[in-house]
Amino acid sequence: DTEVTQTPKHLVMGMTNKKSLKCEQHMGHRAMYWYKQKAKKPPELMFVYSYEKLSINESVPSRFSPECPNSSLLNLHLHALQPEDSALYLCASSQGEGVIADTQYFGPGTRLTVL
């Protein structure tokens, strides 16, 4: 089973709202990732968690706040977003550091629209 689940599938929010995206995997993976994908562009890495600790933040604005409550769950908290933040947000997981050919598996994504 290589399933990564993401909720919600779609989210529409105003610029003053606070919302959260959720990602879950039950493959025992110890690395989890957030990517952002704008229309007709490739995915871009935002954050990496390794063993529940943030190991990479790709200079993402503070209005995006990741959280890894446990090894199976990854959240992305959203606050005061801008319309240009509208995108497909993808979560991925992998076995993690120390694995030579570490393969990432992606969820279906959350389509976010900021009004």
Partner 1 sequence: DAKTTQPPSMDCAEGRAANLPCNHSTISGNEYVYWYRQIHSQGPQYIIHGLKNNETNEMASLIITEDRKSSTLILPHATLRDTAVYYCIVRARYSNSGYALNFGKGTSLLVTP
Of 24, 29, 107, 114, which lies in the binding site for partner 1, with binding defined by CB under 8 A? 107
**Residue 44 sits in the site that holds partner 1 (CB under 8 A):** yes
Q: Which stretch binds partner 1 (CB under 8 A): 11-19, 41-49, 66-74, 77-85?
A: 41-49
Q: Which of 37, 4, 10 is nearest to 23 (CA)?
A: 4
Q: Kindly report whether the peptide bond that precedes residue 61 is cis, defined as omega within 30 degrees of 0.
A: no
Question: By C-beta, is 44 or 52 nearer to partner 1?
Answer: 44
Query: Contact letters (x/-) for partner 1, 9-38, by CB under 8 A?
Result: ----------------------x-x-----
Give the residue, chosen from 32, 109, 112, 114, that forms a contact with partner 1 under the rule CB under 8 A: 109
Instruction: Name the token pair of 64.
Output: 């995006």
How many Å separate Cα 36 from the centre of its chain?
Answer: 8
Rounded distance, CA 43 to CA 52, Å?
22
Beta bridge partners of residue 110, listed in sequence order: 89
Report the distance separating Cα 87 and Cα 97, nearest Å. 28
Residues that bind partner 1 (CB under 8 A): 2, 4, 6, 31, 33, 42-45, 48, 50, 55-56, 88, 90, 92, 96-99, 101-109, 111
